[in-house]
Each structure stands twice: as C-alpha cells, then as structure tokens.
Amino acid sequence: MDEANRRASPRYLVSLYAEQIEREASPPRILNMSETGFLLKGDLCAGAGGVIRAAFRVHPSTGECRVTTRGTVMHASARDGESEFGVRIDSFGSLREESAYKDYVKELASRPGS
C-alpha cells in the first residue's frame, strides 16, 4: 500500500444513505467508515481536495443520532459507473454528534468479524 492510501484507523463496512449533501440530486451511500472518515459512493461533483458536507444517521447503543459532517475529499475514483470518494472528517455539527459517530464506529469495531 502506498503512503497516500495508508489509513490512520481501520474502516468498518456499513451501508448508510446520506440524507443531505450539497448539490446532490440522489443520495449517495456510505460504504465504510472509520473514526476519522468514510468512503462515499455516488454521483458527486467533487475531486481530491474538495469539501463535502454530509448528514446521515448512525445507530450506537445510546440511541439513533443524525450526524452532520464537513470533510475533505482525500481521493476520488470511478468504479461500476459511479464515483467513490474517500472523505476525511474535518468537523461535526456538534460535540454530541461527534460522540455518537465515534461510539458507533467503536461498536462496529467490536462486532464479530470486524
């Protein structure tokens, strides 16, 4: 693996639809997530270095939470007729949302087969 694609934290498979992304007609899907970012698949107008704002729901044991994020596209590629975007999360809508997101990722990590 080259240095540009090395991840600081492991990613966990999910299938979550984003509720809101700027300039987006149909909701993209989050394919995997880590404590620091996620992989997004959809028809987006963004390239490496671009900014993506997304909102989606996570389901930690403490209860469902709508999470809003602002992230930087670290890499973009086309696959199966759609684009995939590796997004590093730069900020959350609130501390509560950040906590819910990180709790959810920790719970994903503790699942068998993670």
Contact 14, 29 (CB under 8 A): no
Contact 105, 89 (CB under 8 A): no
State residue 56's pLDDT score: 93
State residue 86's pLDDT score: 93
Cut 0.85: pTM above it:
no
Contact 31, 108 (CB under 8 A): no
Higher pLDDT among residues 48 and 86, named by residue: 86
User: Residue 113 burial by CB count (10 A; 0-12/13-18/19+): exposed, middle or buried?
Assistant: exposed
Summarised one tens digit per residue, pLDDT across range 55-92 is 999 998 999 999 999 999 999 888 777 788 899 999 99
State residue 16's pLDDT score: 67
State residue 34's pLDDT score: 94
Domains and CATH numbers, the chain: 3-110 (2.40.10.220)
